[in-house]
Chains A and B, each alone.
Chain A
Amino acid sequence: MSVKVLYFAWVRERVGKAEEEIAPPAHVATVADLIAWLAGRGEEYAHAFEKPKVIRAAIDRVHVKPEAAISGAREIAFFPPMTGG
């Protein structure tokens, strides 16, 4: 499965890029699994995801919880808690 991943705010700054295409292995089934897998890809990812509970996610532009399944997702975004308004 290939999916586009987007990063925002300080998650983007730490990872060093705003977006990328990834192909996680089949055992990466949920958002929480994906965060753990991304954290292992390098120091910058480990730094971005060092506090998984602070990271928020959206699949196809809808907020999701860490338990959400990622299969079928076209776009997954990771970001800190929001500060709009």
Chain B
Amino acid sequence: MTTTIRLQREDFDATAEAARLSRGRTDIGAVVTFTGICRGHEGGHAVSAMTLEHYPGMAEDEIARHVAEAKRRWPLLGVTVIHRYGRMQPGDNIVLVVTASAHRQAAFAAADFLMDYLKTRAPFWKLEERPDGTNWVEAKDSDDSAAARWRKDEAAE
């Protein structure tokens, strides 16, 4: 099982990372690639740029904890998570999650799970630049609800 977790300022190439995960493997039947991208507007106002602050050390540790949890829940054959930090503009990549498994259900579910947890538990904070000044993005209840459903799913198993 190949695991890659990286935090970086630089952009990433989603296609290359997905190819790297499955190259030479004959056991992988499904690869799911999710890319999170910076949008140019939020809640009715324009966003000209966004800066991602993070907690070095804890961000990597927290992502690793959730990748380990995903491996425990699903039969994964590979996982890559790349999260950028620093200043980004609309259209720029922010985060990449690639999951690989023999069959698609595990790859889809694990990618969904990892994104829900990245949104709520990974120590990053977004500072938006708007026409009228800067604004710290507030955490969304919908993200907390999305993450909570994975705990309910596990309780039901």
Q: Which A residues fall within an 8 A CB radius of B?
A: 6, 8-10, 58, 61-63, 77, 79-85
In the complex, are the beta carbons of B124 and A82 less than 8 A apart? yes
State in angstroms the CA–CA spacing of A62 and B83 once bound together: 19
Q: Chain B contact residues: over half helix, strand or loop, or mixed?
A: mixed
In the complex, are the beta carbons of B36 and A6 less than 8 A apart? no
The tally of residues in B whose CB lies under 8 Å from a CB in A reads 28
Give chain B residues whose Cβ lies under 8 Å from the Cβ of A9. 53, 125, 127, 136
Pick the residue among B61, B119, B127, B136 that contacts A84 (CB under 8 A): B119
Q: A58-B55, A80-B136, A83-B139 given as contacts; is B119 within 8 A of A8 (CB)?
A: no
In the complex, are the beta carbons of B136 and A82 less than 8 A apart? no
In the complex, are the beta carbons of B95 and A6 less than 8 A apart? no
State in angstroms the CA–CA spacing of A40 and B51 once bound together: 31
